[in-house]
Amino acid sequence: MKYDHLLDNKKRIHFIGIGGSGMCPLAEILMSEGFEIQGSDMNEGETLDKIKGYGIPVFMGHKAENIEGAELVVYSAAVKEDNPERKAAVEKGIPCIERSIMLGIVSRRYNRSIAISGTHGKTSTTGMLTQVLIEAGFDPSAIIGGKLPFIGGNSYVGHSDILVCEACEYVDTFLELTPFVSVILNIDADHLDYFKNLDNIKKSFNQFAKQTTGALVLNGDDKNTMDAIKDVNIVKITYGFDSTNDYYAANISADKGVHESFDLMKRGEKLCTINLMVPGQHNIYNALATAATAHYLGANAKEIAEGLSKFGGVHRRFEILGTPGGITVADDFAHHPTELKATLNAAMKMGFNKVWAVFQPHTFSRTAMLLDDFAEALRIPHEAIISEILPVRETNTYNIYSKDLGAKVPGSKCIDTFEDITEYVTSNAQPGDLILTMGGGNVYMCANMILEKLKAKYE
């Protein structure tokens, strides 16, 4: 690829926004290869503490002089052109690249790079596969979009030729990758502010699939996925619930939806029984994708079953924070209607007296374009609380507000602030209930506020 030469004869690399979840793993991997790493960031945090713990110099704040001595500069997507460090790099003629380009460069330094793509489930599946491969002794490196408790973070530096990473479709960043194996979990209408329609999303996934060098692992039950890869001439491995797939789940059972179990089948032959700690049909799909990929890489059925049985989830994926006073408080990253439905349907089967969904809509464009689908999802729980819409990178040119969503969900309540949501929910929830905060933004802060208030009330 055209950027791969950028690491040639380079020693010192500067990361702008080095504390970001996507930047830290790249810095770790490159440091392990002998590069001298330095960086800057605006905010202290757990990830930055980890970086500093490696002895990597970190400047707080962005200043032109921070890049002194750097031979290559990497910046996160959030860093704009007018950033003083980016401007200084340009003025000095220092090569300056965005994080997704560096991910592509790094991934091609591994003979077997595994890219996990799809509209939903990327982080959970990347975490699952990483844990299975580490447990099975494959010693992969990994770049995960969320914290995996098993490795104590969102990255792992192994010593094999395997790299497991997420491949995000937003603004086509995954097209910087040329994976050995590409996993496509599903394709759904999302990021329509960029893609405009589902056909354009499929075209991007088609191109991504064509850049794969070894094999595609595909959700054979997902029509959009199978449509997108029709003309791709490469090894295709399918998985799903339907027995026409190469790998499929049979004899699915669940203990009140809390523990899923199924027989892993391969073309009519039972390989093993999988017992999952994580709930929901969507996690069975994630486990099937993991099993098919791990099997292709050489893991045996026993190793796959044992690895999956120990997977306890990743940060912000139905993460149970506590149970003060017998009220369960959990947090989930779901921010698309399909994800909300999957998580809420799983929650409703778990035997709670009442399920409270506290939802923070994420971006005006997604809320406006998928309004009816969000409303359908929020009719699933017993109680739905909707906060203000989190703008992220947008202005409200769509003239959309939380009350527009609330009007379509009978019995729901629109409460703007986390403080008021916390007061309302903690005053009304009862022992045996589940309070589940949901969203791709900072709604986890509300979950923590609810947890602390309940602790003060009951403990």
What is the set of active-site residues? 122-123, 166
What is d(CA 300, CA 380) in angstroms, rounded to the nearest whole number? 39
d(CA 191, CA 299): 35
Q: How many residues does the chain have?
A: 459
Q: What angle do CA 432, 417, 120 make, to 5 degrees?
A: 70
Q: How far apart are CA 10 and CA 431, in angstroms?
A: 59
The amino acid present at 52, given as its one-letter code, is K
Sequence-ordered list of residues with C-beta below 8 angstroms from that of 383, at least 6 positions apart, any chain:
354, 355, 356, 357, 411, 412, 413
From CA 193, how far away is CA 170, in angstroms rounded?
A: 10
Residues β-bridged to residue 255: 259
Instruction: Kindly give the pairing relationship between strand 153-156 and strand 141-148.
Output: antiparallel
Q: Tell me if 247 sits within 8 A of 238, measured CB to CB.
A: yes
Query: What is the spatial distance between Cα 452 and Cα 455, in angstroms, rounded to a whole number?
Result: 5
Distance CA 136, CA 253 (A): 26
Strands (E), 61-159: 72-75, 96-98, 112-117, 141-148, 153-156
Burial of residue 268 (CB within 10 Å: 0-12, 13-18, 19+) is exposed
Query: What single letter denotes the amino acid at residue 164?
Result: V
Please state, in angstroms and rounded to a whole number, the distance separating the CA atoms of residues 309 and 291.
12
In sequence order, the 6+-apart residues with CB closer than 8 A to the CB of 142 are: 25, 126, 130, 148, 151, 155, 156, 158, 163, 164, 165
Burial class (CB in 10 A: 0-12, 13-18, 19+), 177: buried
